[in-house]
Structure 1
Amino acid sequence: MRSVITIPLASFFVFLAGFNVWVMLSGRTAGLNGHRWMLLHRIAGYTFITIFAVLSFFMLLRLKGMPDELSPRLTLHAGLALLLVPLLFTKVVLVRSRKAPWAALIALGVSIFATGFTLVAMNISVHYLRNASPHKLPTWISKAVVIAICLLAARAVLALRAQTNPLSRSQHI
């Protein structure tokens, strides 16, 4: 498969995993339309597994007949893909047993999302960084992005500190 196909498909793969985690963590399945959200979660989950199987098949075809060992990045990529297999299998088996503890399902779902995200992000970032030219982006934009991220992180830390310290609110009143 070419990158024109694999990049959108892999991005959709990560989106489905993130969507499923969001559905379960937001409590949408407990509401009035819970059965619809659960059905949507199930469809997205099986679509995720199908895309994973298709991508894995075509990635294995790329490796067929390679005379040399894989690079460390590709070895890590293959290892993460192999790690997803037992995670997905365990999640499906636990869900099918219908007596699975909720916390175990949430932990498995988040683990599947984190593994899938890492699996895709490490190769998409390499793809785009290889094609990027350092002369296309002025240095001042890079500096502005770094400063903006630092300011947002500082703001988040200060907001968190204000939430965890209830005395700070009463002292200012």
Structure 2
Amino acid sequence: MKSRVESGFWVFRAPVGYRYEPATSGGGKVLVPDEPLAAVLRKALEGYASGHFASQAEVQRYLERDPHFPKDLKDGTLRPMTVTRLLKKVVYAGYVEAPKWDVSLRKGQHEGLISFETYQQIQDNLEGRKRAPAARKDFNEDFPLRGFVLCDCCGNAMTGA
């Protein structure tokens, strides 16, 4: 298993948004995006990196609203730690690592859902290098520019209401 990780293969359970398929080159299985779940996760990760989702709580609410995303709890919600783990996984950027086996970060044999730059931006946001405004409980996908577009007359932020 260690040598497969060193070769860039993910050897652990397939993360949410991926599934295993036989490698075209033979010799085992490789991760491939599992649609439509991969698209949902991609949007959540890119949204957090770009600031569209200002906090992990907004990412959590977005994932809880999606019918494709698997829920942690019987009431249809996610644990906050689940969102944190998703945001920290380098496998979503197409890389692998296994620190417990002394295998450093390296390019994986699978397709990433996001770019490595997006992954780095997520890590910067998590470490507090970029402070985001407080979470909005009234966030709605129908109004993606809420708070970003200003009224030409009065200069106030446009609202969705």
Normalising by structure 1, report the TM-score: 0.27
User: Is the radius of gyration larger for structure 1 or structure 2?
Assistant: 1
- Looking at secondary structure, tell me which structure has more helix per residue: 1
Normalising by structure 2, report the TM-score: 0.28
- Looking at secondary structure, tell me which structure has more strand per residue: 2
